[in-house]
Each structure stands twice: as structure tokens, then as C-alpha cells.
Amino acid sequence: MSTGALHSERGRELLSQRILEVLESWPEPYRLVFIKSHYWGDAAEMISASMDMTLADVSQMLERCDQQLLAALRPFREEAGDPDQSDHDRFKAPSRDLYH
């Protein structure tokens, strides 16, 4: 990627493609928990009840998914010029407060 690649249409396509690749690589329960939380906006308690899982299991899955996705997207963040800022400071999920 060249400097400013995330601001180009191609850069956004590459980023979207990488996100989909990561999501598709996860086993079904992880993928579904992540999608329910981050895309549908479901609270961890709702996910827990609907998937017959403990709240602790849901929270742990979400944390693992977040960590894996952040690691996979690190090259994009570094290209954008923010390699030193912590992952959790820059990329807090809107539903992060719902995990606990």
C-alpha cells in the first residue's frame, strides 16, 4: 500500500476484503457472536441468552475476536501513520461497554 492508501477507493476495498477474510476464518459461534454484537448491536446479555452461552463465554469470544481483527488490520493502521497508538485507544468498538 502506498501512503494514504486507506483514503483511496482501492485502499478501502483492500481493508474491507481483509475484514471479510478474517471474519470468514473464524468458526461459526465466534463469527455469529461478533456479528450480533458489532453489526446488529445486540448486548452481550442478549447474545448469551439467544445462543445458550454464559455471559463470560460471550465476553471472552468478543475479546478474542477484537484482538484477532486488530492484529490482522495492524498493517493498515501502520500505513495510516498511527503505529504507536494502542489498539484499544484507537479502535474501541461502539458496543465495548456491552461486554461487561
Host H or E run for residue 61: helix 55-79
Q: Model confidence over 16-72: pLDDT tens digits?
A: 999 999 999 999 999 999 999 999 999 999 999 999 999 999 999 999 999 999 999
Residues in the chain: 100
Position 3 confidence tier, pLDDT thresholds 50, 70, 90:
very low
Q: Give me the domain span that covers residue 53.
A: 5-99
Q: What is the pTM of this model?
A: 0.70
When pLDDT is averaged across residues 82-98 and rounded to a whole number, the result is 48
Assign 52 to helix, strand or coil.
coil
Which residues are within 8 A (CB) of 49 and not within 5 positions of it... i.e. 6 or more apart?
none
CATH at 48: 1.10.10.10
When pLDDT is averaged across residues 7-18 and rounded to a whole number, the result is 86
Assign 53 to helix, strand or coil.
coil
Position 9 confidence tier, pLDDT thresholds 50, 70, 90:
confident
C-alpha cell at 62: 468478543
Number of domains in the chain: 1
